[in-house]
Copies of this chain bind each other. A is one copy, B any other.
Amino acid sequence: MTKNEKIKKLVPEPSIRRMPAYLAYAEGLLRKKQMYVSSTQIASYMSIDSTQVTKDLSYTSIVGKTRVGYEVSALVKVLSEFLGFTVMDDAFLVGAGSLGSALLHDSGLNNFGLKIVAAFDVNHKTIGKKINDVEVFHIDQFRDLAQDMNVQMGILTVPAENSQTVADLMVAWGIKAIWNFTPARIKVPDDIIVQNTTLYSNLALLFNKLHNEE
């Protein structure tokens, strides 16, 4: 591990969560041919304090210039690289049902460094089909294909009740990072990375606010 990577590890989660918004903003400015952007401008766009912006950006290698701020094109480049969007990671997706096939349809993930190279299921109606050009295999083929293709990332879109079993299989088959879209919590060894993304939690938050305002 290099020194730079050690430093990266200490970046707080909320900072990383804000960075794709900084990136989207900078990309917009780039299209408008704006050359420089100040932390105050970014802060105003984000509705946060400008000291937070400078702190977040200090985790990357970008350096602002006095009075003019950050160079927009450099900001786009540095943030994309920092967030891992410029290197393509291959992933296997397990569970080609409605949520899984939804993700397979999101070609936009390619622009953010994620390529789903194969999908897996146990449903014989789905196996052998292609969803948005990604082939669906029987789950039994996961092990061999993961080794052949050296895939380290697994996307979990199975029904919640199967999530732990499939996560255990993924780990046994060499997966190092699991992106869990099920509402269930999964238990994995300490060295395995899990990122939970529960669309339905966000939906619940939205409903909670909407229904209480009515």
Q: Interface on A for B, CB 8 Å cutoff?
A: 1, 5, 8-9, 11, 13, 16-17, 19-21, 23-25, 27-28, 31, 45-47, 83-85, 87, 89, 97-99, 101-109, 112-114, 152-153, 160-161, 176-177, 179, 182-185, 187, 191, 193, 195, 197-213
Contacts and interface: CB of A to CB of B under 8 A. Distances in A.
Contacts of A25: 184-185
B108 A105 contact: no
Contacts of A114: 203
B112 A108 contact: no
Q: Tell me if A's interface is mostly helix, strand, loop or mixed.
A: helix
B185 A46 contact: yes
Contacts of A106: 98-99, 102, 199
A5 B207 contact: no
Nearest to A182: B24
Contact of A202 (B46, B153, B176, B197): B197
The 10 closest A-B pairs by CB, nearest first: A84-B207, A102-B106, A24-B160, A195-B206, A24-B183, A20-B183, A83-B204, A102-B105, A98-B107, A102-B102
